[in-house]
Amino acid sequence: MYEQINYLNTSTALFLVSIIGIFLNQKNILIMLMSLEMMFLAISFNLIFSSILIDDIAGQIFSLLILTVAAAESSIGLAILVIYYRIRSVITVELMTLMSG
């Protein structure tokens, strides 16, 4: 019983820290991307633990799907960020409105 509460507390703490990281730091896009990845990991951790708890593999498969999509999203976001840094020489969220084309 204590292990279940510990896993859920860990997952909830990771999720809350990532939400706080997104809302408190709205100027640095890199920290926002890392907070988003940590949010995906917290949700994935919760799904894996729940699937182990109810003895079903669907949560683990869905967790792998989430991690795969998160990795693809992160690589595309970092590639866009590198290109944006090469053009503008600064990475701020306020200037991202200049990317509209």
* Cβ count within 10 A of residue 93: 12
What CATH number belongs to 1-88? 1.10.287.3510
* Long-range Cβ contacts of 6-9 (<8 Å, 24+ apart): 7/45, 7/49, 8/46, 8/49
Total-model pTM: 0.79
Residue spans of the chain under pLDDT 70: 1-2, 93-101
Distance, first Cα to last Cα, the chain: 54
Q: What pLDDT, on a 0 to 100 scale, did the predictor assign at position 2?
A: 66
CA atoms within 13 A on the CB side of 24: 7
Q: What pLDDT, on a 0 to 100 scale, did the predictor assign at position 7?
A: 82
Q: What pLDDT, on a 0 to 100 scale, did the predictor assign at position 5?
A: 78
